[in-house]
Structure 1
Amino acid sequence: MTTTDERPHAIAEEFDELTRILARSTEGIRLELIDGKIRSRVVPDGDHARIIQWLLRLCIQHRPELFLHPEQGLKVQTYRSGRARPDAVLAGSEAFVGQGEWAAPEGALMAVEVTSYDADTDERDRVQKPRAYAETGIPVYLLIDRDTCEVTVHSEPDGVRYESVRRVPFGKPVDLPEPVGITLDTERLKEWVR
């Protein structure tokens, strides 16, 4: 019998095994475990990938000592053994070496999500993930929202939520606060929305 304290760990282990099985047998779907619930999401489209490439190049230009790790799975939330796979994570180049598919979030300076055109985007990217990343203590959460044509910068996590949330329309510059310390010119993002 699993005790209450052991249950979140057991859920995470079951999730990891399910992820391995599905990775071998399905295409076009990714799984995450947030708030104790398994969530699926579609594989990103070409414009989505181009936005990550654009951001990766900017990060390298402005912060060459860091690396934007695409698709790095993170153990998120202090409760319920969450697993999230941000579109990218800004951290040191060696931050996730040797950690496997689901890495500890220590060293992550920023989690990045780019919205997908699916039914779960609103709940997943605008509600669940900001909460999970804030609970985990990731200093900055950057949401590139292709539905609203806005960039939303979440910062100052208090262990429950981000205390600072700033929305900027595509086309205007946006400052990513420390410890990131980069200003993004978001004009190019207008090219990669439907």
Structure 2
Amino acid sequence: MRKGDVKRKTKETDISLFLDLDDGSLISIDTGIGFFDHMLNSFAVHSGCGLTVTCKGDLQVDGHHTVEDIGIALGQALSQALGDKAGIARFGQSFVPMDEALGFCALDVSGRPYLVFDAPMPQPVCGGYDTCLTAEFMRALAVNAGLTLHLRCEYGDNAHHITEALFKALARALRQAVAVTGGGVLSAKGVL
């Protein structure tokens, strides 16, 4: 039962998020930011995870609090779902092409949060989504899930394609990393 359920309410956002690592049949995303909904939906589909997200955020300010806080909630849900991380493959990596863009992700479900993000965005906005928020989301996810997360855009001219390639690469790498491959924790220390 690898599931995580997070409710997060602040003065800036009210989030309900449910993650199921083993049953991707339920996907429902409503953040108030259409492009971000599209990215989270792509993440869910390509990771094979069930994901439901509802968020009421202070979008009259901008999308920053909504995007970052959903990253926090998703990271917490992933941490819940993985528990002591026994039996998982731990590492994952993926290249994903999206038209002219090529995104790369490598990650380690290490318990040591770290983000390396190398993906300049040629356009500052996709729909109502500020493209600089992709790094904020990834940082919040990495910190709260305990991921060592490396993301890079190899090349690309379109911020939509770059962002989507990164979300899909993250999804595919995560799918590898959380796959159940054995019984114990994959660490020389015996714990992650």
Q: Same fold (TM over 0.5)?
A: no
Higher relative contact order (CA 8 A, sep 6+): 2
Structure number, greater radius of gyration = 1
Query: Normalising by structure 2, what TM-score?
Result: 0.29
